[in-house]
Amino acid sequence: MNKIDVITALAEKKNLTGKKATEIVNLIFKGFTNELKNVGVDIDKLTSMVSSE
């Protein structure tokens, strides 16, 4: 499941517009990213490992 799938599923399940679902998902992802940075996770290294698989 990718980000677009998550947005679509959220919009359908909660009867939201695509724009509103996108805003919510972006806020959640931003929160995850900030917390990972706060505990010292190198986001660039993490994303490069995931995308190379």
pLDDT tens readout for residues 14-47: 999 999 999 999 999 999 999 999 999 888 887 7
Count the domains in the chain: 1
- In whole angstroms, what is the distance from residue 24 CA to residue 16 CA? 10
Identify the CA nearest to 25 among candidates 9, 6, 43, 12.
6
21 touches 15 (CB < 8 A): no
pLDDT band per the 50, 70, 90 thresholds, residue 52 = low
Whole domain around residue 28: which residue ranges?
3-51
Has residue 48 got a pLDDT over 90?
A: no
| Interior/surface letters 4-33, b for 16+ CB within 10 angstroms, e for the rest | eebbbebbeeeeeeeeebbebbeeeeeeee
pTM of the complete model: 0.75
pLDDT band per the 50, 70, 90 thresholds, residue 49 = low
7 touches 25 (CB < 8 A): yes
